[in-house]
Structure 1
């Protein structure tokens, strides 16, 4: 069967099998299918078991699953790809507002999210992380229903423990000097409050709390005035996933692996006065202490952090260290001593149109990653783990001009790497 035949067959099958069009739901996002086959059978609050369907995603589109709730319920939403597929899920309410999203919390490349929802109609959109064709199983159920993924089961187990927080005393730091006074609050499901009262904007020094995710999967904080802030969750042994919501359940942001396996959320638009909830999930060890810190958002520091992680090209004005390697004429090899996972930046000049081959090679150990940018900051190429090993390689067609190369290492060993460049010109 050809790809064209498969697309046409799938479109016809969807038109025949879909008993409802999603343009009537979730802000009119497009055609969708009831997760239970029809609207009556897709009421997750009243169902005796989970509901699931097969999602076929082609040409960068999304598969939309519809479900309803006749009463409030804690709903688990999961997607597991078949083969090498990497699904990403996004949950929308009846108005089309995004109330949750996830990638990889189900374990491996699977997605999982746990949301406390009110009665209404909801949509789950499943997409492919890298826009390649995807076949995935989508499952929607309550916490007592069987989970599709290991991460989904862990989410339900963690949720079951969130209602047991009854301690009203003030705690002290288990990690000296890192915990401010915390008390319990009725907000955010009885979460523990970060700080001893409303935060008045004095976050320059930061406020930190340290506890295991198993013991405290939820925190809360209260703002007395608008504040742009950063929230971090740190301990790579736990591999924490960080979620920010409002006390009313409104979703703001979620992050996993911002800095190594640590997580960070930057709210660049000031949050308005009110109470906010910080949710934590451990993808590894939930029994190790994780430090959660609230601090004032620093745009300069945030921008520099992007340069240091190699995600954004720094300016060429000398404000950030860049090693000038000159014009790439034929073949060059540079020895680079890495310092943790901080990117090392290199400037090169290309005199003629041609093919530029760049390799990051571990001299003895390491896991190099490469990124290539043009002189205005557009990413031209990216690679991690070329071929069968951990070395990286970028092959890109380039034109005369200036380019920036970011070399990183994600092994955590600060190894010695070799940066190899070769230039090829078109045959005459």
Structure 2
């Protein structure tokens, strides 16, 4: 509760209604540091018949935490975030005490979210946001299972295999050969609501190839076919919600066709690119996405993390992972926490030993989108920690603040 609402409640409301009535009608404090609003704007959003519904409209990094009350018997209910005209909806369901019940991103081939769950009488909260923490315009709805849903299964927009008879944009051989050698790209842009797009090209042997489909609104997927129309490779979300395939000289020379479409037939422009890729760039992408710790020879920024400091480290986190290093001199239990939900980020942490082996990782802990590593018992040695913003493009993610802190537990001497 903010200072403003505390003063209002303490000075004005007791003159109008009993304090017990105000407490009963206040939305539950589902998430620490967040104020919920009753779904639909009612004094109390009580699901006892008609569906409850609110329109969600947020800017980048924004979200809506909407509360509702279930009365009567325990029963299955439907919580939906759909009818979106902007963004990729992500929905999380919490108890009144802040325990996460479940979450949903893409429901059965759509970009919308739909949760169906047995709920006992009590108060609950639904957190509505864009999966990449961008702007979101959508409808949040809670209803009985007998009501008509607003989110229905669609499946992927149909993308037939690309054969010699398939209509496609044919890339120029000389221009592609130059792009492969220069590590540049040939691109085509199309609207997702037009259906699949195909690019046909002739590939010389032993060429490093990068294939991408990027979009600020749609969720693209790409499939590579050989001359016989057989699928060679496919990717959906390699980099946030963008698709990417890196093929390092392992394709035979010949004719290939790249197909691209949008999951759930979403709207927005999709940019499809074919070009060369530097193997060193593939490694840098792995570092940027927190997949593998960079060696010292990579000259990738790695900051020292002081586990003994009582002060948290506050950093700016964008689409690229932040890497930290620390040394353990004696056997001890360590807990690492990152806090960024309040700034609109969903983050993940991964811990590696000196050999590059991932020891453990975590996405969501303690009923929030903030991660926690541990308690984990660490032996003496050197360690690397990655902090990553989920759902963000590794090169263009919006920058926001994140706080990192540590706790240690040593054997008493």
Of 305, 316, 326, which residue of structure 2 is paired with 1:348?
326
Alignment of structure 1 residues 91-240 onto 2, 5 Å: 106-107=109-110, 150-152=153-155, 154-156=156-158, 159=160, 187-197=163-173, 201-203=177-179, 204=182, 205-215=184-194, 217-223=196-202, 225-226=204-205, 227-240=207-220
**Contact 1:188 1:220 (C-alpha < 8 Å) held by counterparts:** no
CA RMSD in angstroms comes to: 3.2
1:67 matched residue in structure 2: none
Structure 2 residue 316 is the aligned partner of structure 1 residue 337? yes
Q: Offset at 1:213?
A: 3.2
Q: In 2, distance between residues paired with 1:188 and 1:357?
A: 57
Structure 2 residue 256 is the aligned partner of structure 1 residue 276? yes
Q: Deviations over 1:23-82 (max 9, x none)?
A: xxxxxxxxxxxxxxxxxxxxxxxxxxxxxxxxxxxxxxxxxxxxxxxxxxxxxxxxxxxx
Structure 2 residue 407 is the aligned partner of structure 1 residue 425? no
SS at match of 1:300: helix
Of 386, 390, 404, which residue of structure 1 is paired with 2:365?
386
Q: Offset at 1:371?
A: 1.1
1:364 matched residue in structure 2: 342
Q: Deviations over 1:96-119 (max 9, x none)?
A: xxxxxxx98735899xxxxxxxxx
SS at match of 2:294: coil
Q: In 2, distance between residues paired with 1:410 and 1:220?
A: 30
Of 279, 286, 303, which residue of structure 2 is paired with 1:323?
303
SS at match of 1:320: coil
Residues 1:233 and 1:318: Cα distance change in structure 2 (over 3 Å):
closer
Structure 2 unaligned spans of 5+: 1-100, 114-151, 392-396
Q: Offset at 1:231?
A: 0.3
Runs of 4+ in 1 over 6 A off after TM superposition: 83-86
SS at match of 2:193: coil
Residues 1:188 and 1:236: Cα distance change in structure 2 (over 3 Å):
farther
Q: Offset at 1:353?
A: 1.5
2:240 matched residue in structure 1: 260
How many residues align? The count is 263
Q: In 1, distance between residues paired with 2:298 and 2:246?
A: 26
Of structures 1 and 2, the one with the larger relative CO (CA 8 A, separation 6+) is 2
Structure 2 residue 249 is the aligned partner of structure 1 residue 246? no
Q: Deviations over 1:319-370 (max 9, x none)?
A: 11111125x34755111112x2211111111112222111111273122221
2:280 matched residue in structure 1: 300
Q: In 2, distance between residues paired with 1:302 and 1:350?
A: 31
**Contact 1:206 1:294 (C-alpha < 8 Å) held by counterparts:** yes
